């Protein structure tokens, strides 16, 4: 007689809540009248995320950690990463709720009569909310998955909605659709690589669980293990846009609707780095001599290329895309560190970077002219004179990206570099600070454009943000600022939560 395996619903509940809300969202989309759809969808999304956060709080001290027949491990670090995703998603959903960023009807061909009609009738489709929730749920699953199949499923669950969301921009729709297609094609390749690597790892270890792979290390010809690690890494490095798998990032960041860019930039990083940290810390730690040199080189290349190429960018979204590449390089130092400090530092860095990114893209969404968002930096000139508060906040966020002391970015950098130094990777630290110095140049150049140059007579202006955007940007900025001055608030938490359980 078959007995049903115990799944550990308590541990899975934070994810299940979000998945359930996503399914309900689909139903709302199908059966709800048009008039109230958007409000209901937003309420459901926020409610589900809050509930999920509450649930995460309640399970934070549970002694059992494995659930769903050992395919996920909800350990301390896992809970922290999930909470980070949910918190960032809560802030992002308020940006996403500003519907006028999204196309009225995604199926209408750009420039067609159908599109014009949809716009005229104000028939705003709200499928973004369920898509968003599916992505969030996938992102919550990714960093806690402990076998290769679950990892792959999670990867796809959060990637597919993102491919779609990237193509839903209301303005510059062709650019947006091109971005979506590019993201999808390259993403599909990356997934294929991941799967291929997973097959090799299974062939080597005879198991798909990370713990099993770790235990099998050294039992057979290591070439297969190496091939497996390399291909799995390709899939993961693509998601965090590490060099040389970064080429999609600027195009997608630029083409996607800005709130989606914000969400993607912040939350995908958390989820993907969470998974990377778990895979390398648990699955591959025993064979660190195999992969450490490779990841170190990739980290160095990523930091340098991201910082250097960002200098040449004339579009603020592309610039932040390259900046996110550079930050991926800094974060990889935490992976290479392979110690508890590295994990704690990465957790802090992800939260701080995510908040700053959300706020920065939130502000980019406010700068517009009559035809929509203006991301050309040359037209940002003198913005600080027209709207000093928005200019000042953006300048503060840029300083945080640059890692100037008294910002959260600085504490993150300090934590992650000291972990890397501790593990003996001094080359990484030196490259890291040099890359930071290069990166400072383009952040500060933007501040100069915004503040120190007189506005040219141009119709660019900062729109009055809606209450939702205002809350979102304010909350993200305030938390980021507080973390800069009193980082202990979060550092003490990350220190307690920086444990992976095998």
Which residues are near another protein by CB under 8 A?
344, 385, 388, 399, 402, 404-406, 411, 414-415, 417-418, 421-422, 426, 429-430, 432-434, 436-437, 440-441, 444-445, 448, 451-453, 487-488, 491-492, 494-495
**Residues 6+ away with beta carbon under 8 Å from 88:** 263, 266, 267, 270, 351, 354, 355, 358
Closer by beta carbon to another protein, 185 or else 311: 311
Least Å distance, CB 339 to another protein, is 11
Question: Which of 359, 490 has the CB closer to another protein?
Answer: 490
CB of 244 to another protein, least distance (A): 26
- 145 secondary structure, DSSP code: B
Q: How far is the CB of 62 from another protein (least distance, A)?
A: 25
For another protein, the closer CB: 275 or 345: 345
Cβ-contact 13, 86 below 8 angstroms: no
CB 266 within 8 A of CB 258: no
Q: Which helix (H) or strand (E) holds 78?
A: helix 76-96
Q: How many CA atoms lie within 13 A of 271 on its CB side?
A: 30
3-class secondary structure, 464:
coil
Nearest approach, Cβ of residue 452 and another protein (Å): 4
- Nearer Cβ to another protein (185/426): 426
Other Cβ atoms closer than 10 A to 418: 15
* Closer residue to another protein, CB minimum distance, 99 or 453: 453
Q: What single string gives the DSSP state of each residue in 403-432?
A: T-TTSHHHHHHHHHHHHHHHTT-HHHHHHH
Which residue, 201 or 300, is less far from another protein as judged by CB?
A: 300
Q: How far apart are CA 22 and CA 16, in angstroms?
A: 10
CB nearer to another protein: give 201 or 303: 303
Handedness of CA 233, 239, 242, 246 (dihedral sign): positive
d(CA 93, CA 76): 25
Shortest distance in whole angstroms from residue 269 CB to another protein: 22
What's the closest the beta carbon of residue 91 comes to another protein, in angstroms? 25
Name the H helices within 32-67: 34-58
Q: 145 forms bridges with which residues in the sheet? A: 72
Nearer to another protein, 258 or 333 (CB): 333
Q: How far is the CB of 290 from another protein (least distance, A)?
A: 25
Q: Tokens for 281, please give them.
A: 């810390």
- Minimum Å gap between C-beta 475 and another protein is 23
């Amino acid at each position: 007689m078959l007995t049903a395996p115990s799944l550990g619903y308590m541990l899975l509940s934070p994810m299940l809540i979000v998945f359930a809300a996503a399914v309900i969202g689909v139903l709302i989309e199908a059966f709800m009248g048009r008039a109230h759809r958007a409000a209901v969808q937003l309420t459901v999304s926020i409610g589900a995320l809050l509930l999920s956060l509450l649930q995460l709080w309640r399970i934070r001290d549970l002694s059992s950690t494995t659930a769903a027949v050992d395919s996920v491990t909800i350990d301390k670090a896992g809970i922290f990463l999930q909470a980070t995703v949910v918190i960032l998603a809560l802030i992002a959903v308020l940006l996403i709720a500003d519907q006028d960023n999204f196309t009225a009807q995604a199926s209408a061909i750009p420039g067609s009569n159908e599109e014009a009609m949809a716009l005229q009738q104000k028939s705003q489709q709200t499928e973004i909310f369920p898509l968003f929730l599916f992505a969030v749920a996938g992102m919550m699953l990714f960093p806690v998955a402990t076998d290769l199949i679950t990892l792959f499923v999670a990867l796809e669950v959060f990637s597919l909605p993102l491919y779609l969301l990237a193509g839903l921009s209301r303005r510059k729709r062709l650019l947006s659709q091109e971005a979506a297609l590019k993201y999808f094609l390259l993403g599909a390749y990356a997934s294929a690589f991941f799967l291929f690597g997973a097959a090799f790892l299974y062939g080597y270890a005879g198991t798909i669980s990370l713990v099993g792979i770790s235990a099998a290390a050294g039992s057979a010809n290591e070439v297969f293990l190496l091939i497996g690690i390399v291909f799995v890494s390709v899939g993961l490095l693509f998601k965090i846009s590490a060099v040389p798998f970064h080429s999609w990032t600027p195009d997608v960041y630029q083409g996607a609707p800005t709130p989606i860019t914000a969400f993607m930039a912040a939350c995908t990083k958390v989820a993907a780095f969470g998974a990377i940290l778990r895979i390398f810390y648990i699955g591959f730690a025993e064979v660190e001599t195999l992969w450490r040199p490779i990841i170190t080189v990739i980290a160095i290349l990523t930091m340098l290329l991201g910082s250097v190429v960002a200098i040449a960018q004339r579009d603020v979204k592309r610039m932040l895309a390259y900046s996110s590449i550079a930050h991926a390089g800094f974060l990889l130092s935490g992976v290479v560190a392979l110690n508890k400090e590295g994990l704690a530092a990465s957790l802090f860095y992800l939260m701080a970077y995510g908040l700053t990114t959300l706020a920065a893209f939130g502000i980019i969404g406010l700068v517009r002219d009559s035809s929509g968002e203006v991301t050309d930096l040359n037209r940002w000139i003198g913005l600080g004179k027209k709207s000093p508060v928005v200019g000042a906040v953006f300048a503060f966020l840029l300083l945080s990206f640059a890692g100037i002391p008294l910002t959260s970015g600085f504490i993150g950098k300090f934590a992650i570099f000291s972990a890397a130094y501790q593990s003996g990777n001094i080359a990484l630290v030196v490259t890291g600070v040099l890359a930071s110095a290069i990166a400072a140049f383009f952040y500060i150049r933007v501040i100069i454009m915004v503040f120190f140059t007189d506005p040219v007579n141009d119709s660019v202006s900062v729109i009055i943000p809606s209450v939702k955007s205002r809350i979102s940007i304010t909350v993200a900025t305030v938390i980021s600022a507080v973390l800069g001055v009193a980082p202990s608030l979060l550092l003490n938490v990350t220190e307690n939560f920086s444990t992976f359980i095998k």
